[in-house]
Structure 1
Amino acid sequence: MENKRELFQVLTRRFGLLNKNCCSIGSVDISTVQSHIIYEIDKQHAPSMQQVADTLAMDITTFSRQIQKLVKMELVKKTPSEQDKRIYILSLTVQGKFVATSIDQSMNAYLDEVFSHMNEFERETVIRSIELLNKAMSKSHVCCSPMC
């Protein structure tokens, strides 16, 4: 059996997860972390800062710094909650929604191109395997914790 860590090291590099910027939309450079934040704000309905930070398993201080950058870039809007002014609700601006849609289209095109090199059985096997891996990782007590 191949070295499992090596498989994930190569997969991480090929997905570009180590790149400083994951993508450029127009004149805007988006980091991988910012891309994940934008995705979650777009996916969830009026999430709080804490909800998105928890979903991404990020500490709130690091997350807050990223949100401030995204607000400054005019991609994210931070609004005090009507119920509790200490809680901030996140939403995408029009430009943020455009960036989210652009990243989504780009990632889908990339994945479609990658999967085009496989037959239907292989594609289904890979998708099912990733689903199984995600499910197993969600049950792991060390999931989302740094190992070293």
Structure 2
Amino acid sequence: MEKVAIDEVDNQVNPLGVHSVRKPVSGALGTEHFAMNYFELDAGESFSGGLHAHGDQEEVFYVESGTATFEVGLDREAVTVEAGELIRFPPGQFQKGYNDGDERVVGWALGAPGATHDWDELQSRVYCPDCEAERTHDVDLVEGTFELTCTECGAVQG
């Protein structure tokens, strides 16, 4: 059995700097098959950055307070998630969650299986300068920064 208070969990923000509060609770609890992250998002901040998909992980977001907006799928359908509501994404579904309001969002990201991502199973949807269009990119974490490889032309950004 492990027990932890949110105030005791170290703040570890995304290398992209897209949020100011992210606490990896699963690390503090020592989980192996379940990921759990606590977030506080100020206006304009996001859970993870850009539109992305985890091929190896199902994700559920719970909004504890405030209102979060999620862009879902390649068509970026906007879905509003209010305090007390949850949203689920199956493995492989593109999504991006963020705070587009003025009120702080407090929320949780829950994922399974696994407490960490398999970087070979993560893709992001970003603009490729070589293709001159938004394309799917494979994602790799290299020395603390993200490296993106376009799946269409092979161009590397990072």
Q: TM-score, normalised by structure 2?
A: 0.25
Structure whose CA Rg is larger: 1
Q: Which has the higher contact order (CA 8 A, sep 6+)?
A: 2
Q: TM-score, normalised by structure 1?
A: 0.26
Instruction: Return the structure number with greater strand share.
Output: 2
